[in-house]
Amino acid sequence: MANQTVKCSTPTKSTNYSISKVRVIVRVRPFLFHEISGKNDDPKPCISVLDQEICESSSEEVAVYLKDKDTSRNECYRLDSFFGQEDNNVSQIFYREVSPLISSIFHGDNATVFAYGATGSGKTYTMQGTDEDPGLMPLAMSTILTMSQSTGSTAEISYYEVYMDRCYDLLELKGKEITVLDDKNGQIHLRGLAQVPVKSMSEFYETFSCGIQRRKVAHTGLNDVSSRSHGVLVIAVSTPCGDGSEAVVTGKLNLIDLAGNEDNRRTCNEGIRLLESAKINQSLFALSNVIYALNNNKTRVPYRESKLTRILQDSLGGTSRALMVACLNPGEYQESVHTVSLAARSRHVSNFVPSSHKLETPKVRIDMEAKLLAWLDSRGKTKSAQRIGPFNSPFTSKTLGSLSSIKKASVYPSSVKAKGSTNQGAFKAKERFAPVPFTNLNNNEGPADACLETGEIVAKSKIKAIEASADGIVPESNTFLPGNCQMHSCVKKNELQSSVRKALSPIKTNVNQKPFNELSSTDQLCPALFEPITPQRPCNLNSPNKSEMVGPSLDKFHARSSNLKTSLIQEYIGFLNTASKEELLELKGIGMKMAEYILELRETSPLKSLSDLEKIGLSSKQVYNLFSKAARGIFDRLEDSSPSSSDIYKLNK
């Protein structure tokens, strides 16, 4: 690296930091050689900035537009500034965004600059740069050294990393982690952290490059360039008060190369990498929460939610100013959306969505309970044998648009048209199932289920009912149930409603807790939801193949289970997007903190898939476990509500 003071082009316009406490800007790196080579046309970046007039509300912000070239998906977010792929955008960022922070350091204030983004998006390049294109760290150091000459200030640097929520010195090797202490004035002290005086850029480079090397080797291995820790360079400046005394004021500038956020669906992370990744995502979300709280004047700023935010407590908020640089890879749409949405969330300027994309983003609160009741009621109204219901089962619906259609088709009037709803599955199911009277089960004649014990019959019939639900098939109650069994099934229907409602929308309603004889006549008359479905074909008692004796093949079962799972995931996401905090808390696996995270996350960026929960710092495995717990809750309740064999015996007597 060069030894002389770094020089850059003259700034065009500098930023007024009084507008917001943490500015959030975007920096798009250029395409790299290997990303262009071998391609006929120059690749087009998936990120652009919209014309300024679109952001009518304020000339101080820009609309950042992201478009996926492979699909027609697009998103748009408002942020404070945008730096495109042009050469030298790092020095532009420095002069417009960082240098206004530096003068305050000489007056004893603190400031922080973060580079945030996915792995490979250019964070390290932005902060460290190269010999030819110095990054924000050397540019800041150089400016501070230059200014110190006229103010008589002295500068010291520290360099540490936060890895897996622990702090380690990178300038001096120590056996243990650095302890974080805060004094009664709210100042943070890192006990034992080395502070190295720096008088020239050569001293800076010499000291700093050792630290860089240590960080690189510590957790990534020499062949792996991805940063697994947050690297923090602190430049502390002590300036004489100028009153003739020896008193000095000290301010510090934190320059942070954050670890890359990772989408664990797309990585092969496992073991320690997965754990690291979860910790990284968690701390980035905590940081975003702090910035959000500061920018929105919240009374409580959650500094203590991660080691990094705790350390930065005296440099974020109060009189401190900060800048978040969201770094983007121009060829990665999904990754960029993830980064920009979290950055926009921190800034708390809501995402605005072009009309073409509106269906994918839930805009209104969906009444889950009403939706489920509507679905159950629709089923109840179906009378004819093996008839295909005039609605799409919510367990097969794929989009919120199609969920609206359920309301329309059942009891809730709606002007929203069903998108892509189809009864194809139901037709297929109809072909597969031949009606066989339920009474055969009790007579031990004919159907496959007759070979089973009553308890097994009920359990199996439940599975089949769910399978049939997934295909949209509605069995005719009279065909399958003896008369008095209908009454029982009516209770079962209400119990099921209760189970599903409790699992997904834990608002308690009285009707579900009433005994059967206290139910309204409408409730009592409702047909069975849970009556057994007619088996696929009559049981061949002599068949050596047991699977033939028990109905649909394992493959079909798996296929339908998979449909059911997809639908449940959609229901679950819809619920997370709309439930109140209290409702969320009643879901298995969700505690107070997570409920709050979910509420904050969905405020600016509603969940579209389970993996969006990774934005709150969960690993993909944790997300899946969370969903599984909620799903299991449903089946536990179904189990509780299944009739015992003695119930069936009594009912049939």
Ligand X SMILES: Nc1ncnc2c1ncn2[C@@H]1O[C@H](COP(=O)(O)OP(=O)(O)OP(=O)(O)O)[C@@H](O)[C@H]1O
Give the binding site for ligand X (CB under 6 A).
29-30, 32, 117, 119-125, 225-227, 260, 327
Cα 61 from Cα 26, distance rounded (Å) = 11
Nearest to 526 by CA among 483, 485, 560, 489: 489
The nearest distance, CB 138 to ligand X, in angstroms, is 14
Give me the residue whose beta carbon is nearest to ligand X: 260
The nearer residue to ligand X, 136 or 526, going by C-beta atoms, is 136
The nearest distance, CB 332 to ligand X, in angstroms, is 11
The nearest distance, CB 273 to ligand X, in angstroms, is 12
Widest pairwise Cα distance in the chain = 107
DSSP 416: P
The nearer residue to ligand X, 308 or 441, going by C-beta atoms, is 308
The answer to whether 87 touches 29, Cβ cutoff 8 Å, is no
Nearest to 325 by CA among 542, 25, 638, 50: 25
The nearest distance, CB 121 to ligand X, in angstroms, is 4
Cα 23 from Cα 489, distance rounded (Å) = 60
The nearest distance, CB 276 to ligand X, in angstroms, is 12
The nearest distance, CB 227 to ligand X, in angstroms, is 4
Total residues belonging to the chain: 653
The nearest distance, CB 312 to ligand X, in angstroms, is 19
Backbone angles phi, psi at 154, to 5 degrees: -120, 150
Residue 404: count other Cβ atoms within 10 Å of its Cβ: 22
The nearest distance, CB 8 to ligand X, in angstroms, is 14
Q: How far is CA 197 from CA 104, 158, 376, 411, 464, in A?
A: 20, 9, 72, 74, 74
The nearer residue to ligand X, 119 or 641, going by C-beta atoms, is 119
Cα 85 from Cα 330, distance rounded (Å) = 8
The nearest distance, CB 327 to ligand X, in angstroms, is 6
Cα 469 from Cα 560, distance rounded (Å) = 9
The nearest distance, CB 302 to ligand X, in angstroms, is 24
The nearer residue to ligand X, 132 or 431, going by C-beta atoms, is 132
The nearest distance, CB 76 to ligand X, in angstroms, is 23
The answer to whether 324 touches 290, Cβ cutoff 8 Å, is no
**Which strand (E) or helix (H) includes residue 167?**
strand 166-169
The nearer residue to ligand X, 122 or 425, going by C-beta atoms, is 122
The nearer residue to ligand X, 226 or 512, going by C-beta atoms, is 226
The nearest distance, CB 120 to ligand X, in angstroms, is 5
The nearer residue to ligand X, 148 or 227, going by C-beta atoms, is 227
Start-to-end C-alpha separation, the chain? 92
**Which strand (E) or helix (H) includes residue 653?**
none
The nearer residue to ligand X, 30 or 589, going by C-beta atoms, is 30
Give a three-class secondary structure readout of 43-87: CCCCEEECCHHHCCCCCCCEEEEEECCCCCCEEEEEECEEECCCC
Q: Reduced to 3 states, what is the DSSP secondary structure of residue 114?
A: strand
The nearer residue to ligand X, 92 or 605, going by C-beta atoms, is 92
Nearest to 605 by CA among 585, 576, 626, 581: 576
Strands 248-257 and 111-117: parallel
The nearer residue to ligand X, 135 or 606, going by C-beta atoms, is 135
Cα 561 from Cα 559, distance rounded (Å) = 5
The nearer residue to ligand X, 122 or 380, going by C-beta atoms, is 122
In the structure encoding, which two tokens stand for residue 426, read together? 């139901």
Nearest to 308 by CA among 649, 617, 644: 617
The nearer residue to ligand X, 225 or 275, going by C-beta atoms, is 225
Cα 106 from Cα 475, distance rounded (Å) = 78
The nearest distance, CB 611 to ligand X, in angstroms, is 19
Cα 444 from Cα 182, distance rounded (Å) = 77
Residue 31: count other Cβ atoms within 10 Å of its Cβ: 18
Task: Mention every residue, 6+ apart, whose C-beta is less than 8 A from residue 71.
Answer: none
DSSP 135: -
